[in-house]
Structure 1
């Protein structure tokens, strides 16, 4: 039996923070460009076309009916598994772990994991009162993972639905447990 070792062969990241709407990129474009950058980083041309698994982290800024399928088509990886994740802060790492396991078990040889957000472009379009002319939006047909929201009804009632609102509560609790002043805790955090 051959031993399969998961190896990250290329990475790519694209950031688009333009304040000019005509330069804005939709999430699908961002993912395709990042995938191309990852292929270039690998040093192997034609690598994306060999991907037998295309996995996309849930896109909150512009949902597509089939983001993994659309991305696979753009990068030429039309064969194999397509997976779209549920919402969750742990999702990117979970996908990496699951792909690594699939490689070890021989179920996958080469995977593309991608994610993208375009909140800045959405905010800018809303500010300018302009409709974005991006690919058709839609509710994802297939979602993998836990589809529950990441908060309870009680948390929602009190506006504690976003990490930016919850993490300060955790930090303040840790600070109190350690009997530190706010200034001491800030210094401890760096």
Structure 2
């Protein structure tokens, strides 16, 4: 077997994250600002001066500020760069970051790009605060800043309250629990243990929004600070959307990283990836206790 050419080996050379916690409601960064700052921090992590040579920028579509879309060009402008390849994902899906990572790696491997930047950011916290302020002074209707097509209750599923992901995931949670032969108590106990473990990790990480560990029992027990969301989920069993957070990373070739003097121990080598896509309409799927796309990809 011949040794792979370092020019075609993709590596991550810098990562950056930002938690934006403004002192005054509504003063936070918008998604463009979050993405740009995350990439500046990724550039600093890589040793500075990498972003100025960026020839590929890919960002995750954001839903907090729909009036800003598309934001890829705005992020490039904020960074003062003009990449020849600039794009935004079609939807703000949870698998978008890993999809863009694989696409960046493929661009490097094919010799199509030299420096790839990937970023995502959401400012739902500030969007909600601004909407509340405008509703209070009468200048805008409540949630005007968060009106978007995905929130419109139009269609068969939506008429039954199946509008956003937290409405739909319980279909899989409950079907899976039944298929595994678990009682409700057993399924909730397992879920609580998983989330409690993640809260311990978050407590030790600078990138986490909530840094207080929570017990498994507290995760699954409804309370004033842990309201029910969609059966059987409580607030602590779903993603925390009311945040201002951004993250980004830089990908290049092993040869370019070494040319820039970045030590091998500071690199993250990217493995193989695979993806499969099921119908966007979850009502078209034939079951909720398994995922054919997941099985195919693995």
Question: Which TM class, normalised by the smaller chain length?
Answer: 0.7 to 0.9
Query: 1:153/1:98 Cα in 2 relative to 1: closer, same or farther (>3 Å)?
Result: farther
Give the corresponding residue for 2:101.
Answer: 96
Shift of 1:25: 0.8
The 8 Å contact of residues 59 and 115 in structure 1, kept in 2 or not, is answered as: yes
Unaligned runs of 5+ in 2: 140-144, 194-298
Q: What secondary structure sits across from 2:83 in the alignment?
A: coil
Give the corresponding residue for 1:10.
Answer: 14
Residue 32 of structure 2 corresponds to residue 28 of structure 1: yes
Residue 45 of structure 2 corresponds to residue 41 of structure 1: yes
Runs of 4+ in 1 over 4 A off after TM superposition: none
Give the corresponding residue for 1:145.
Answer: none
Query: 1:75/1:36 Cα in 2 relative to 1: closer, same or farther (>3 Å)?
Result: same
Unaligned runs of 5+ in 1: 132-136, 138-147
Shift of 1:13: 1.0
Shift of 1:106: 0.6
Which residue of the other structure, out of 156, 162, 170, is the alignment partner of 1:168? Answer: 170
The 8 Å contact of residues 61 and 118 in structure 1, kept in 2 or not, is answered as: yes
Q: How many residues align?
A: 173
The 8 Å contact of residues 48 and 76 in structure 1, kept in 2 or not, is answered as: no
Distance 2:180 2:26 in 1: 50
* 1:1-190 matched pairs, under 5 angstroms: 2=5, 3-18=7-22, 20-21=24-25, 23-42=27-46, 44-63=47-66, 64-87=68-91, 88-129=93-134, 153-189=155-191, 190=193
Segment of structure 1 superposing worse, 33-42 or 152-161: 152-161
Q: What is the CA RMSD across the aligned residues, in angstroms?
A: 2.7
Distance 1:112 1:21 in 2: 31
The 8 Å contact of residues 99 and 111 in structure 1, kept in 2 or not, is answered as: yes
The 8 Å contact of residues 26 and 130 in structure 2, kept in 1 or not, is answered as: no
Shift of 1:6: 1.0
Give the corresponding residue for 1:141.
Answer: none
Greater length-normalized contact order (CA 8 Å, ≥ 6 residues apart): 2
The 8 Å contact of residues 96 and 113 in structure 1, kept in 2 or not, is answered as: yes
Question: Which of the two has higher C-alpha Rg?
Answer: 2
Distance 1:22 1:160 in 2: 30
The 8 Å contact of residues 17 and 121 in structure 1, kept in 2 or not, is answered as: no
**TM score, norm. by length of structure 1:** 0.80
Distance 1:174 1:66 in 2: 37
